[in-house]
Each structure stands twice: as structure tokens, then as C-alpha cells.
Chains A and B, each alone.
Chain A
């Protein structure tokens, strides 16, 4: 039950507002670009140095010099621009980017996020994630509610090395939309057909439920 990755992306896309510059991370966040609501104009920033990122190229039109932060071949929209990495992170740290969407391995009830390292097992590096979460005002985490072993990813405290502290304000999972404030996950919406009890049972961190929790509209 619950949403698939595209469903999560579709729900997050409802958060987009016209005129925003948006940075989408690798994985589920990338899919958000497929669901931009009609009539809304946003521009996508990719931290490797492009503003105005467009869709993937048609076969045969790939350009090795034109990629996104996930190293995928891309295209650009009219009015796009290229810049170096220092300028790119000036946009990010300087809060010129209105929304950051990224994936996570763990999120805690006070808004800590971990997504770059599993000691002794996997070390890929943080890439731009630490700069993004330390600076952005508006961060949405897109992830599954539980990991593959069925363990909750919404925790009292993160067990993995942190990417940032007290920075995540909203989480959209396959089961729910949650807001993080005052040291708790506040349940805002349920995925279609998912009960509050199920969300409660799969949330290790402090979950606040008030009144009737509506279903997502997707």
C-alpha cells in the first residue's frame, strides 16, 4: 500500500509555486520535474552549474558536456545559464534557491538528516547535500517511510552520520506528508488508503496527530 516513487514526486510537485528556483536531488526528487502543475513556471537549478535545466535529450542528441548533478545527460530550456561551482553554491548558500528537494536515509524528529554515509559499508560522499541543507530555508525530504528491512526512517535520533542538523521542515513519504516542528513529526496528510494507525506503527519518532487527517489529493 502507499504511493510509489512517482506518487511521492507528484505530491511534492504540488508544493511548487510560480517563479521559484528549485534544486532537485538525485533519485525520487528528480522525478518531481515530471509533475509540474499546469500554469506554474519554475526553473530548475543543478549544482554542477546550470539554471534552467530541461528534460533528458532525445536519443542521438546527448552532449557529454551537458549533464545534471546526477551525471545524467540533460537539455536546457530557453533562458538557461551555465556557471562555475563557486557561483552555483553562492546561489545555494545565499538562499537564492527557493526550494530544495532531496532524498534521505534517515530523518529525526528535530529535523536532522542523514544521507551520505554508512560507516564501514558505504561511503559515497556528501556531494552538495551539506551545503544545501545548511543553507536552504525550504527543504522537503522525499523518501520511503521505511527502509528495505522494514525499519522506520523517521526516527527520534538519526543513527547514521549527519548531513545537517535541525534543517528539514517537511517530509513526503510513500505513506504520508509530515511537517517537522517542536521536536515532532506532525501528520498533515495520509496517502490514499493508508490509515493513521499504519503511519503511527511505522514512525519511530514522535508523531503528532490532531483531528481528522485528510488523504492526499493526487
Chain B
């Protein structure tokens, strides 16, 4: 089945104000930067964004935050973003902070038809407030529910016309689980190839999880913490 669409405009078609979106990436690594740029242009607002991080002040989800297009963030780590911290502390932005492993598993569960699961993470902390606690093997766990999204937007290294995806290095991160959990999943890829060119043994995300795929026009791939050693 051909999932290819021609432009980023068509890719985000149907994303409306007040919807819930999942956006792949860890820090600025593996984020769908072409789609984010298009959402900034579109001017829609009131978004709930599920993403491990919230970008930096002038890149990634930070661009949507700057324009006040985001109503609520569901994330695990939001440091290194002054505008985010300002909006959160002033109460302009709703924020739900979730342990990173629970966030990943809640996305996976959403895509896998598992409504909820028990995890030890967060027991005895603010995260556990209002959640069911149950002991397994003498250890307390809390009940966490699946996450779903109207649209999931992911970024892959390579993809084919069937929507099969291959990620590169640590740019994989949350992308595979989010691809599974979107009612509609949009994949932007660096290299779009005809079906048959990718080795089926090496597909990370099977095309069944992807409804739209397009080749991104421009990937800046900004590095947040450039660290090197001397030769």
C-alpha cells in the first residue's frame, strides 16, 4: 500500500487546534523537525503534546511553545528551556511530568492494545498520587494507563513507500512506540526509497503503523551538547 504524500503541508493536513499529538525524539535527536516547522506556520493552538522533551528555546517544540500553540505538555524532562520553565511556573502551560520509562511504556501500551500496566517507577512520589497501588512479589507498584494521540509524528532515517521505517543510532528513541500509538501516524524520513529496497530483516517499524510518509525537505539536525575530546 502506497503511503507516500508529496508535501509537508499534506502531511499535517487534518491536525487541528486542541488535538493531542505525539512527537518522537529525545532532546533534539530524532525529532520530526519538518512537521514541527509546518505546525508553527499553521498557527493552530491549544495542542496537547506528548514528547519526552520540549525542545530548546529556538528549535524543536520550543518553537511551538514560543508561539503559545501548546496548552499542555506530557514529558519526562524539560530542562534547558527557559521559555518552557517560565510558562510552567507562571501557570500558562499545563505540564504532566512522567518517568521516562513509564512514558515510553504508556505509548507502547497505547499502540499495543494494553489499557494499563503496573510499574515500580514513581511509587512513593508525587507521580503516584491518585494512582492504584498493588504489591507484586512483596514490592509496591503503581497502575499507569496507556497513552493515545490523534496524530503521532515520527522521524526516521530511511523509509519506503509502504511506510516501513529504519531509524539511525539513538535517533530511534521514542519514535517506534509513538508510531504505534497514533490514530494517524505521519513519518518524515531523510531518505524515501521504493518498496523492496529496504531489507525486511532490518525494518524497525513495520508499515502497518504508518499512514503517511514523506521525505523531509530540510534536516538541520541541531546538536544540543556538542562534546568532543582532543586527538
A: residues with CB less than 8 A from B are 46-50, 55-59, 61-68, 70-74, 76, 82-86, 88-89, 92-93, 112, 117, 120, 122-131, 134-135, 161-165
Main secondary structure of the interface of A (DSSP, over half): loop
CA distance A50 to B169 in the complex (A): 8
Interface check B104, CB cutoff 8 A: yes
Beta-carbon contact of A130 and B222 below 8 Å: no
Contact surface of B with A, Cβ cutoff 8 Å: 26-30, 52, 75-80, 85, 88-89, 95, 97, 99-105, 107-108, 119-127, 157, 167-177, 204, 221-231
Nearest neighbor of A121 in chain B, beta-carbon distance: B89
Q: Is the CB of B100 within 8 A of A128?
A: yes
Task: Give Cα A163 to B76, complex, Å.
Answer: 13
Cβ of A65 and Cβ of B171 under 8 Å apart?
Answer: yes
| B-chain residues with CB within 8 Å of residue A70 when the two chains form the complex | 225
List the B side residues contacting A129 at CB < 8 Å. Answer: 99
Please tell me if the beta carbons of A48 and B29 are within 8 angstroms of each other in the complex: yes
Point out the residues of chain B lying under 8 angstroms from A72, CB to CB: 225-227
30 contacts between A and B (CB under 8 A): A49-B26, A50-B169, A55-B229, A56-B228, A58-B229, A64-B171, A65-B168, A67-B27, A72-B226, A74-B227, A82-B167, A84-B175, A85-B26, A85-B173, A85-B177, A86-B105, A86-B177, A92-B101, A117-B126, A122-B85, A123-B85, A123-B88, A124-B79, A126-B99, A130-B121, A131-B100, A134-B119, A161-B125, A162-B126, A163-B125
Given known contacts A48-B29, A89-B100, A130-B121, A124 and B171 CB-to-CB distance under 8 angstroms: no
